A and B are shown apart, each in its own frame.
Chain A
């Protein structure tokens, strides 16, 4: 197996706060790798660092064998790697229609056949053509997230960085989007690095995962281990317990 995304001893520091503290993750070509962990533990920061959006102070990032330096990412990088952000409102341009946001990446990369690709992308994420000329504020939260996913898929990248891609979606649309993601991964041999706080989603989508806490990777395990309770860290075990739902402390 070849490692396609390699993050080694990566640190990201803001002022004097360590958002990532020597974190390492190796993702093999064609696999789907999950990141779970506490809020604020650095999951988004890790994805953003790969995309050149976080200030790396130490460590190395390698994507498809190329070492990436600083924050610059070239066109070839974005052709190969696309990211779906946790906060779709922030990642969509507020004054551009859905259509414009889908046309733009195609134009930047000089890809023709726009009309067909746009209709296909919208259809894949379950948005009819009625949504094509709307602005982000005219969409519900889940509809915005689906536009963000359509935009990431339209360039047919080989690696997708997915930050909570379905946490804004109801279960029925979530199932459709997860099925779509699995299907494109199979058809196009994609690699996923996926953040989710929903262990049901992570174990469904990913073969292996890393658990993060305080900027560090505290445990690496397979989904099968997690499901079977073969867990080393207390924190991971707490996550499993909490996944069972809310329990009112009886008075």
Chain B
């Protein structure tokens, strides 16, 4: 499989008043035209890994890597203009906090239209059509109404789907989806996943799927990376997740509430300091 993305020894550091926070500490992986899941504890560096690949690390922080390459393009030495052009067009990221990431003073529809027109020469009318189609594709029931709503006027799950529509409308080759379905009810969640699934299977898109939902990741992804304290502690075929070796991964599987199981309190992880070494 030809690598679409190569990440080698990625590090992200934040200087703070109380010292340096090492959010990502030497992450390496390659991605083909496949579905790669990333799971891991809250705060383990999943989102910051995605942001660094996008070039969206906050300016006061420091991101470095031995290698960071997308489709043969060296992203580390790429000029800012090239990275901006790639972003949204060839590489897109669905951010974790849709309401925060959407522009609060622009209607949902206009944001999708503008994203499309930034990357493609299309007429206003055509852009509007495509934005409405995209909203319908992500199972928004009443696209024409939602098109004109502002972010604070949509529900959590609608905001999340608006963000997905905006990121898919320009047809990216690499999509980083950070908790893209965490606010969706299960039926809509599956519809959105099958859209992503089709893009991978039919258009050869590469997908990084960040999620804490192990049930989804094991049924949807090909491969899974497990992160803990800024590092990858385990890589495993998604179908083998149930046989994970790392105690963190095993613990994760065990502490999910399961329909029909009556376990009060739920088992919790006994985190060992050596996991974070």
Q: Which residues of A contact B (CB under 8 A)?
A: 14, 17, 36-40, 44-45, 86-87, 89-90, 130, 133-134, 137-143, 146, 163-164, 167-176, 178-179, 182-183, 197-201, 203-205, 226-227, 238-240, 242-249
Query: In the assembly, what is the distance between CA of A161 and CA of B58, in Å?
Result: 34
CB distance from B69 to the nearest CB of A (A): 26
Question: Which one of B83-91, B109-117, B189-197 is at the interface?
Answer: B189-197
Q: Which residues of B contact A (CB under 8 A)?
A: 14, 16-18, 39-44, 47, 58, 96-97, 99-100, 141, 145, 152-159, 161, 179, 182-190, 193-194, 197, 212, 214-216, 218-220, 248, 251-253, 255-260, 263-269
Besides A87-B156, A175-B257, A203-B259, 17 other CB < 8 A contacts?
A87-B99, A90-B99, A140-B47, A143-B43, A146-B42, A170-B39, A173-B41, A175-B267, A175-B269, A179-B268, A199-B259, A203-B257, A204-B257, A205-B257, A227-B259, A242-B190, A243-B186
A171 and B255 contacting across the interface, CB-CB below 8 Å: yes
B266 and A179 contacting across the interface, CB-CB below 8 Å: yes
Chain B residue numbers with a CB within 8 Å of A170 are: 39-42, 44, 212, 252
Query: In the assembly, what is the distance between CA of A96 and CA of B266, in Å?
Result: 33
A172 and B252 contacting across the interface, CB-CB below 8 Å: yes
Query: Out of B47, B157, B186, B194, which one reaches A239, CB within 8 Å?
Result: B186
Query: In the assembly, what is the distance between CA of A168 and CA of B100, in Å?
Result: 14
Which residue on A lies nearest to B251, using beta carbons? Answer: A172
Query: In the assembly, what is the distance between CA of A247 and CA of B218, in Å?
Result: 11
A89 and B47 contacting across the interface, CB-CB below 8 Å: no
Query: In the assembly, what is the distance between CA of A9 and CA of B14, in Å?
Result: 51
Query: In the assembly, what is the distance between CA of A87 and CA of B16, in Å?
Result: 25
CB distance from A126 to the nearest CB of B (A): 9
Which residue on B lies nearest to A205, using beta carbons? Answer: B257
Chain B residue numbers with a CB within 8 Å of A167 are: 182-183
Query: Out of A143, A168, A173, which one reaches B182, CB within 8 Å?
Result: A168
B255 and A174 contacting across the interface, CB-CB below 8 Å: yes
Query: In the assembly, what is the distance between CA of A244 and CA of B190, in Å?
Result: 10
B156 and A164 contacting across the interface, CB-CB below 8 Å: yes
Which residue on A lies nearest to B221, using beta carbons? Answer: A246
B99 and A245 contacting across the interface, CB-CB below 8 Å: no
A227 and B97 contacting across the interface, CB-CB below 8 Å: no
B185 and A37 contacting across the interface, CB-CB below 8 Å: yes
Query: In the assembly, what is the distance between CA of A21 and CA of B158, in Å?
Result: 19
Chain B residue numbers with a CB within 8 Å of A173 are: 41-42
B257 and A179 contacting across the interface, CB-CB below 8 Å: no
Chain B residue numbers with a CB within 8 Å of A45 are: 155
Which residue on A lies nearest to B190, using beta carbons? Answer: A242
A203 and B260 contacting across the interface, CB-CB below 8 Å: yes
Query: Out of B153, B259, B268, which one reaches A176, CB within 8 Å?
Result: B268
B41 and A39 contacting across the interface, CB-CB below 8 Å: no
With A178-B257, A200-B259 already in contact, the answer to whether A248 and B43 are too (CB < 8 A) is: no
Query: In the assembly, what is the distance between CA of A34 and CA of B153, in Å?
Result: 24
Query: In the assembly, what is the distance between CA of A56 and CA of B184, in Å?
Result: 25
Which residue on A lies nearest to B215, using beta carbons? Answer: A245
A40 and B218 contacting across the interface, CB-CB below 8 Å: no
B266 and A247 contacting across the interface, CB-CB below 8 Å: no
Query: Out of A137, A203, A240, A246, which one reaches B190, CB within 8 Å?
Result: A246
Chain A residue numbers with a CB within 8 Å of B141 are: 40
Query: In the assembly, what is the distance between CA of A176 and CA of B218, in Å?
Result: 22
A197 and B197 contacting across the interface, CB-CB below 8 Å: no
A246 and B220 contacting across the interface, CB-CB below 8 Å: yes
Interface centre among A137, A141, A176 (most CB of B within 10 A): A141
CB distance from B16 to the nearest CB of A (A): 7
B183 and A39 contacting across the interface, CB-CB below 8 Å: yes
Chain A residue numbers with a CB within 8 Å of B179 are: 141, 168
Chain B residue numbers with a CB within 8 Å of A37 are: 185
Query: In the assembly, what is the distance between CA of A201 and CA of B47, in Å?
Result: 24
Query: In the assembly, what is the distance between CA of A51 and CA of B18, in Å?
Result: 37
Chain A residue numbers with a CB within 8 Å of B252 are: 170-172
Query: In the assembly, what is the distance between CA of A129 and CA of B269, in Å?
Result: 20
Chain B residue numbers with a CB within 8 Å of A171 are: 212, 214, 252-253, 255-256
Query: In the assembly, what is the distance between CA of A17 and CA of B158, in Å?
Result: 15
Chain B residue numbers with a CB within 8 Å of A130 are: 18
Chain A residue numbers with a CB within 8 Å of B215 are: 244-245
Query: In the assembly, what is the distance between CA of A39 and CA of B141, in Å?
Result: 10
Query: In the assembly, what is the distance between CA of A187 and CA of B246, in Å?
Result: 35
Query: Out of A17, A36, A142, which one reaches B42, CB within 8 Å?
Result: A142
Which residue on A lies nearest to B100, using beta carbons? Answer: A89
Chain B residue numbers with a CB within 8 Å of A198 are: 186, 257
Query: In the assembly, what is the distance between CA of A29 and CA of B44, in Å?
Result: 38
Query: In the assembly, what is the distance between CA of A243 and CA of B197, in Å?
Result: 18
